[in-house]
Structure 1
């Protein structure tokens, strides 16, 4: 028994006439007659009663018809799923993201993507950039939002998704908080609240300070920008944060741009052999952000 026989049986059950069923199936009548007879032989019972002007279903045929239709519908659903999967319209995406992406970037990407690809299941997991790249390489994640540059990007392909710059976060009682902009060297005597070493921004900030002629005096390390800003508010030091994260600052923290901006980037990382599911997500994300791939 195969799907062809089930389709023949279903159409004949609807038309109750071999000639009309053959026309609907776009075949000649003899192959249809042979296929139905073979199906009945395989099942060990007749499905139709042959009459001079057509056929009628036997009790076995009446009982079998719903199952035959369900099997045909399931087969069509299977074909649709395969086509949709091959086109990146259906499936499951494992996405890693760094904490600073959760505020604006991730929601801005996810909402329109879900509207455009409702059959794709998204599994989101917060990680740092190093962990995301390792998970992509191990096939535990499909892609991730990471802070650039990566220390080792050999196993992934990167698409820049967002460009930003670092700005100074100071408590409002700091004398420098009234400035409209600052040279980085003006912070030399301040203690720094800095991103922990797992963040790319740790190395970015240390390198920028060295280029400005000093080594930052680290008062505290933290992972999340909200924590960093809270420590700045408490007067434990100053910080360099992404300018887009300024919205997390309270009224007791002042965000001041640098005279010489320090550019930073966020990217979408994925495996070099990524399939259409991932490629569709990257294209949709770049389109939302207005970034040329």
Structure 2
């Protein structure tokens, strides 16, 4: 017994006429008649009673019909599931993201992706850019939202999805908070809250300070940007963070633009052998605003 036979059986049960069933199945009547007879012989049970003007189901035929329909429906679901998977429309994606993606990038990508691919489950994990890169190479993640540049970029496919600028996060009671812009050398004597040792943003900040002619006085370190903002709120010092973090800055924290902008980028990264499921996520991540610039503006 195969799905073709079940389809013939259910169609004949619907029409109760070999000629009409054959038309619906887009075949001639004789092969249909032979197929039904072979099905009955295989089962050892008559499914139809032949009459002059058509057929009618036997008691066994009526009993078998719901199961036959269910089998065809289940086969359809199997076929649909395989097709969705092939097209990257079902499954699970493990996504690593840096903390600074919380304010703009994740709210832009996740709702759009879920709207287009409702049968895909997203598993999100906050990490550093370095950790995301390592997890991608180890096969522990499928895709990452990372700060650029990354270590070993040649091993991954990376696309820029956001361009941002550093801003100074200060308490609203600090004199800098009343300025429209701040020159980086003005911060030389200030206690600086800095990203952890394994961080792209840490490298960017230290290089910017070096170009400005000073070595920062590091008061405290933290792994993620939201934590730095909380430390600023606590009065422990200043921090250089992405300007796009302004919408989620805690109460009492102000982000002031730098007089000489320091640009930073965020990208979406995946392995070069990633399949259509990851490809769909990357496409959504890139689509809305390809490398859109973000800045605080002026007060």
- TM-score for both structures, normalised by structure 1: 0.92
1:101-180 alignment, distance < 5 Å: 101-180=101-180
1:24-173 alignment, distance < 5 Å: 24-173=24-173
Match of 2:286 in 1: 286
Distance of 1:214 and 1:197 partners within structure 2: 19
Residues 100 and 226 in structure 2, CA contact (< 8 A), matched pair in contact too: no
Following TM superposition, by how much is the alpha carbon of 1:262 offset from its aligned partner in structure 2, in angstroms?
0.9
Distance of 2:131 and 2:59 partners within structure 1: 62
Match of 1:273 in 2: 273
- The gaps in structure 1 that reach 5 residues or longer are none
- Greater CA deviation, 161-170 or 183-192? 183-192
Match of 1:212 in 2: 212
- The gaps in structure 2 that reach 5 residues or longer are 293-299
Change (3 A) 1:29 1:173: closer
1:216-231 alignment, distance < 5 Å: 216-231=216-231
Match of 1:258 in 2: 258
Distance of 2:252 and 2:55 partners within structure 1: 86
Change (3 A) 1:255 1:22: closer
Residues 103 and 247 in structure 2, CA contact (< 8 A), matched pair in contact too: no
Following TM superposition, by how much is the alpha carbon of 1:290 offset from its aligned partner in structure 2, in angstroms?
4.3
Distance of 2:93 and 2:110 partners within structure 1: 12
Report Cα offsets for 1:173-206 as digits up to 9, x if no partner: 4444433222222222222100112321111111
Following TM superposition, by how much is the alpha carbon of 1:207 offset from its aligned partner in structure 2, in angstroms?
1.6
Residues 128 and 224 in structure 2, CA contact (< 8 A), matched pair in contact too: no
Instruction: Specify the SS of the correspondent of 1:55.
Output: strand
Residues 225 and 241 in structure 2, CA contact (< 8 A), matched pair in contact too: yes
Instruction: Specify the SS of the correspondent of 2:261.
Output: strand
Distance of 2:98 and 2:279 partners within structure 1: 20
Count residues with an aligned counterpart.
292
Match of 2:295 in 1: none
Following TM superposition, by how much is the alpha carbon of 1:148 offset from its aligned partner in structure 2, in angstroms?
1.1
- TM-score for both structures, normalised by structure 2: 0.90
Following TM superposition, by how much is the alpha carbon of 1:98 offset from its aligned partner in structure 2, in angstroms?
1.4
- Greater CA deviation, 218-227 or 77-86? 77-86
Match of 2:9 in 1: 9
Match of 1:192 in 2: 192
Residues 166 and 242 in structure 2, CA contact (< 8 A), matched pair in contact too: yes
Report Cα offsets for 1:190-236 as digits up to 9, x if no partner: 22100112321111111211222222221100123232123223332
Instruction: Specify the SS of the correspondent of 1:164.
Output: strand
Report Cα offsets for 1:89-124 as digits up to 9, x if no partner: 333222121122122320121112212222222222
Distance of 2:232 and 2:274 partners within structure 1: 41
* 2:255 maps to 1:244: no
Following TM superposition, by how much is the alpha carbon of 1:291 offset from its aligned partner in structure 2, in angstroms?
4.0
